[in-house]
């Protein structure tokens, strides 16, 4: 498929060279990539299909943007088979693409590509995505839901673009909280039915022991001692910890099954416990480990990052040390190009600290540079921040099941005889919840509200699913989908059709942008735009008509929309229903 941006950027570079008497102003390859990056898609269709802002070149060329635009326009040599015309508006150069060529390129690519929008740009590159990471013996709440669906979407998209992608669930299965849980279980374990309701009962114990710790310092000390014993592989403490972990994982798997989320590795903090001494030794070799009040630390004050504790004064480890051990292990095991941590922005300082310390872990430079914290906003309930200790968390399993029940109720009211009602309700309910978490820029905070989560009107997951179902309903009315080379391309150059074609053409570019920004909401907004544009087309045009050529063109356009919506939604983790 023709890369129109590539063609335009090459033409601009050539024009700049001619207008400056072939004087080399830029590094050619580097600047060509920059120019391509600067090319925009105007929001107003009357201003061309692509626009280049000459403000970007004003500093290097020492000229006013409008003068640069006019000089480029005078010197530029365009392939008229690709670009119909260019025009200057202020400091912008607007490019108008040959519409028939755009249609032809797009529908032919749709036809020949089973996985439309995929590519091999990631071939030979290893990407780790760490996401979900629930805490053992605690509820899987809506905060964990965000990291799970964001991380799963990034995992899917990177993989679709050819990267060797490794999804890791880094469980919170270690730390002083287990000392508390062990102490609580010692005292009151027989009062709670762990086997029947594991998470719920363990939370009750955890909340209760926390209250005791507030009242009695000796209880808190006993909890700390339990964790120390756990680190020393004490048989009783280890068996209890293993029990808590096993029952928790079984409960979490129910949620992952509903969401359709899978991992390549489930390795919690405990996996790295026997690898921490090596980290301490390396940091000592690098002469950056110092002692402070009995604790071993790396002083990052000169970087404005405070102090990174490696080992507490009582000899216990801390999660920073375990994260550093994980980085070392992953660098040696996967030789990663990127390691993404999908974690809420509240942990920003923690990741800045460990990424800084990672420079001294004796790992490849590309691994150090590839460490990235993918920050997302917090999810809060109307009463404030969620807390397991306070017992005010919104549990994901309850949320997902409630979403499914509400969809079933809607189906009963509108189409009680719908086939596979439960299966369709699961797709729509889960899709609504997933899309709700990916609908806006992920860095934004969310206030949890049932009305918003399960709103099936407007710019929602169900709206995308409904549009897809509509495309399939239309396609069922014809005996076969015509071949792309049978379509008369000029029949799809009208404004409404062309708006759709341009979006479908840019699908791969949208996926690449998701990986550049590490924000799946870019794809969510794309799918909403595509659904809206198809709805506008559908409302203005009959698709099944007497003129076979017009019908074939519109049927193929409908097919292309359905295919793109289905692929895009699946990358977000959303399945398409057969009926709505």
Is the pLDDT assigned to residue 552 strictly greater than 50?
A: yes
What pLDDT, on a 0 to 100 scale, did the predictor assign at position 383?
A: 56
Of 392 and 172, which is predicted with more confidence? 172
Q: What is the DSSP letter of 169?
A: E
Window from 192-206, 389-403, 485-499, 555-569 with minimum mean pLDDT:
389-403
What pLDDT, on a 0 to 100 scale, did the predictor assign at position 388?
A: 47
Q: Which residues pair with 168 in a beta bridge?
A: 130, 265
Tokens of 27: 């590094």
* Averaged pLDDT for residues 201-229: 93
Residue 168 backbone phi and psi in degrees, to 5: -120, 130
- Which residue ranges make up each domain of the chain? 4-97, 131-380, 396-572
Of 126 and 24, which is predicted with more confidence? 126
Q: How far apart are CA 555 and CA 544, in angstroms?
A: 8
**pLDDT digit string, tens, across residues 58-87:** 887 888 999 999 999 999 988 889 999 999
What pLDDT, on a 0 to 100 scale, did the predictor assign at position 547?
A: 96
What pLDDT, on a 0 to 100 scale, did the predictor assign at position 47?
A: 87
Is the pLDDT assigned to residue 380 strictly greater than 80?
A: no
Window from 17-21, 80-84, 370-374 with minimum mean pLDDT:
17-21
- Residues 18-47 as b/e (b if ≥16 CB within 10 A, e otherwise) read ebeeeeeebeeeebbeebbebbeeeeeeeb
Listed residue (396, 451, 463, 430) closest to 573, CA to CA: 430
Q: How far apart are CA 141 and CA 448, in angstroms?
A: 11
Reported as a pLDDT band with limits 50, 70 and 90, residue 195 is confident
Is the pLDDT assigned to residue 405 strictly greater than 60?
A: yes
What pLDDT, on a 0 to 100 scale, did the predictor assign at position 392?
A: 55
* Averaged pLDDT for residues 526-536: 97
What pLDDT, on a 0 to 100 scale, did the predictor assign at position 163?
A: 98
Window from 218-227, 332-341, 376-385, 399-408 with minimum mean pLDDT:
376-385
Tokens of 507: 């699908």
User: Per CATH, the architecture of 396-572 is what?
Assistant: Orthogonal Bundle (1.10)
Strand ranges of the sheet holding 164-169, from the earlier edge strand across to the other edge = 265-266, 164-169, 126-130, 338-344, 371-376
Is the pLDDT assigned to residue 386 strictly greater than 60?
A: no
The CATH number that domain 131-380 falls under is: 3.40.50.620
Reported as a pLDDT band with limits 50, 70 and 90, residue 263 is very high
Reported as a pLDDT band with limits 50, 70 and 90, residue 563 is very high
| pTM, rounded to two decimals | 0.92
- 3-state helix, strand and coil shares in percent for the chain, rounded to the nearest 5: 60, 10, 30
What pLDDT, on a 0 to 100 scale, did the predictor assign at position 319?
A: 87
- What CATH class does 4-97 carry? alpha beta
Is the pLDDT assigned to residue 304 strictly greater than 80?
A: yes
Q: How far apart are CA 414 and CA 425, in angstroms?
A: 13
Biggest CA pair distance of the chain: 87
Cβ proximity of 57 and 13 under 8 Å: no
What pLDDT, on a 0 to 100 scale, did the predictor assign at position 322?
A: 93
**pLDDT digit string, tens, across residues 440-494:** 999 998 877 767 766 667 889 999 999 999 999 999 999 999 999 999 999 999 9
User: Which helix (H) or strand (E) segment is 204 a member of?
Assistant: helix 198-215
Whole-number mean pLDDT of the chain?
91
What pLDDT, on a 0 to 100 scale, did the predictor assign at position 49?
A: 94
**pLDDT digit string, tens, across residues 321-358:** 999 999 999 999 999 999 999 999 999 999 999 999 99
CB neighbourhood size of 401 (10 A): 15
**pLDDT digit string, tens, across residues 84-126:** 999 999 899 999 999 999 999 999 999 999 899 999 999 999 9
Instruction: Express as a percent the part of the chain with pLDDT over 90.
Output: 76
Residue 446 backbone phi and psi in degrees, to 5: -125, 140
């Amino acid at each position: 498929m023709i890369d129109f941006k590539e063609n335009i950027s090459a033409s601009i570079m050539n024009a700049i060279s001619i207008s400056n008497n072939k004087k080399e102003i830029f590094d050619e390859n580097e600047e060509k990539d920059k120019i391509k990056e600067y090319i925009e898609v105007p929001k107003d269709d009357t201003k061309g299909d692509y626009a280049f802002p000459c403000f970007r070149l004003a500093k290097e060329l020492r000229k006013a943007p409008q003068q640069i635009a006019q000089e480029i326009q005078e010197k530029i040599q365009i392939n008229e088979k690709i670009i119909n015309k260019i025009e200057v508006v202020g400091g912008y150069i607007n490019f108008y693409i040959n519409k028939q060529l755009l249609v032809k390129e797009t529908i032919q690519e749709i036809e020949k590509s089973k996985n439309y929008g995929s590519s091999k740009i990631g071939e030979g590159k290893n990407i780790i995505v760490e996401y979900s990471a629930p805490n053992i013996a605690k509820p899987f709440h809506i905060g964990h839901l965000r990291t799970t669906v964001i991380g799963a979407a990034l995992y899917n998209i990177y993989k679709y673009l050819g990267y060797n992608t490794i999804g890791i669930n880094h469980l919170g299965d270690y730390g002083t909280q287990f000392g508390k849980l062990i102490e609580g279980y010692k005292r009151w374990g027989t009062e709670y039915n762990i086997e029947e309701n594991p998470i719920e009962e363990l939370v009750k114990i955890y909340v209760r022991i926390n209250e005791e710790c507030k009242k009695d310092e000796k209880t808190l000390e006993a909890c700390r001692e339990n964790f120390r014993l756990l680190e020393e592989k004490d048989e009783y403490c280890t068996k209890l910890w293993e029990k808590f972990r096993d029952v928790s994982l079984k409960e979490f798997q129910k949620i992952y099954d509903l969401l359709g989320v899978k991992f390549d590795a489930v390795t919690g903090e405990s996996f790295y416990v026997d690898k921490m001494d090596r980290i301490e030794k390396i940091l000592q070799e690098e002469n950056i480990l110092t002692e402070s009040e009995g604790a071993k630390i790396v002083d990052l004050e000169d970087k404005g990052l405070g102090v990174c504790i490696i080992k507490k004064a009582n000899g216990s480890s801390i999660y920073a040390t375990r994260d550093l051990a994980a980085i070392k292990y992953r660098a040696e095991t996967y030789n990663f190009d990127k390691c993404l941590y999908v974690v809420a922005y509240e942990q920003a300082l923690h990741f800045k600290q460990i990424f800084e310390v990672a420079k001294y872990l004796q790992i490849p430079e590309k691994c150090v540079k590839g460490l990235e914290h993918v920050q997302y906003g917090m999810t809060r309930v109307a009463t404030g921040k969620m807390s397991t200790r306070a017992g005010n968390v919104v549990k994901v399993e309850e949320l997902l099941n409630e979403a499914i029940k509400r969809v079933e109720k809607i189906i009963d009211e509108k189409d009680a005889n719908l086939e596979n009602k439960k299966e369709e309700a699961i797709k729509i309910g889960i899709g609504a919840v997933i899309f709700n978490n990916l609908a806006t820029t992920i860095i934004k905070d969310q206030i949890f509200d049932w009305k918003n989560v399960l709103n099936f009107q407007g710019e929602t997951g169900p709206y995308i699913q409904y549009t897809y179902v509509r495309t399939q309903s239309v396609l069922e009315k014809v005996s076969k989908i015509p071949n792309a080379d049978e379509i008369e391309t000029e029949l799809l150059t009208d404004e409404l059709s062309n708006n759709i074609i341009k979006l479908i053409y840019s699908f791969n570019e949208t996926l690449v942008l998701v990986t550049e920004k590490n924000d799946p909401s870019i794809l969510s907004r794309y799918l909403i735009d595509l659904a809206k544009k198809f709805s506008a087309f559908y409302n203005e045009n009959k698709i099944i008509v007497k003129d076979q050529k017009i019908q074939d063109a519109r049927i193929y356009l409908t097919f292309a929309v359905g295919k793109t919506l289905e692929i895009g939604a699946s990358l977000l983790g959303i399945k398409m229903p057969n009926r709505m």
